[in-house]
């Protein structure tokens, strides 16, 4: 029961974080095509002031719940090394932890990333994690 609850929380938090990245990359970045520079800044800030209250915490919840889920499903490493499932899960965990570290540094410590300042790279990592999530059980 606890696993199902945390898994549901994990999915919702990932949808919130990934959904924001999806909207930002595919729609908000296009505001420049119809609005002038000052209007874009005003509109983007009007949206981002609400996003900053929810999305970073959704990412932190996704990472924390992901760590719990990882400990529940990873299993023991066999005598011949990790299984394909364990390797894919490890890649997912690494990418998720990287996103979590980046987001936590920004939100809690005010440390902005030196590289990959746009949301395109995190969005790409989320897409890779989603594909791994689907392919992991094949």
pLDDT tens per residue across span 4-61: 999 999 999 999 999 999 999 999 889 989 999 899 999 999 999 999 999 999 999 9
pLDDT above 90 (res 138): no
Model confidence at 88, pLDDT cuts 50, 70, 90, reads very high
For residue 117, give its domain range. Answer: 2-135
Mean pLDDT of 69-90: 93
Q: Using CA atoms, how far apart are residues 121 and 75, in angstroms rounded to an integer?
A: 30
pLDDT above 90 (res 109): no
pLDDT above 80 (res 113): no
* CB atoms inside a 10 Å sphere around CB 41: 12
* Higher-scoring residue by pLDDT: 115, 133: 133
- What is the widest separation between alpha-carbon atoms in the chain? 62
Q: What is the pLDDT of residues 125-134, one digit of tens each?
A: 999 999 999 9
Q: Using CA atoms, how far apart are residues 57 and 68, in angstroms rounded to an integer?
A: 17
Number of domains in the chain: 1
Angle at which helices 120-135 and 2-26 cross, to 10°: 140
Radius of gyration of the chain (CA): 17
Helix then strand then coil, in percent of the chain rounded to 5, is 80, 0, 20
Could you tell me if 115 and 3 are in contact, meaning their C-beta atoms sit under 8 angstroms apart? Answer: no
According to the model, what pLDDT value does residue 115 have?
Answer: 67
pTM over 0.85: yes
């Amino acid at each position: 029961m606890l696993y199902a609850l945390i898994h549901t929380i994990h999915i919702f938090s990932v949808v919130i974080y990934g959904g924001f990245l999806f909207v930002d990359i595919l729609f908000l970045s296009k505001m420049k095509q119809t609005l002038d520079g000052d209007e874009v800044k005003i509109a983007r800030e009007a949206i981002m002031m609400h996003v900053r209250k929810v999305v970073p915490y959704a990412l932190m919840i996704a990472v924390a719940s992901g760590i719990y889920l990882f400990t529940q499903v990873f299993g023991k490493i066999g005598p011949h090394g990790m299984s394909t499932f364990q390797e894919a899960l490890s890649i997912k965990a690494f990418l998720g932890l990287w996103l979590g570290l980046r987001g936590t540094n920004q939100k809690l410590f005010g440390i902005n990333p030196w590289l990959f300042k746009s949301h395109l790279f995190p969005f790409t990592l989320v897409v890779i994690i989603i594909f791994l999530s689907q392919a992991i059980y094949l």
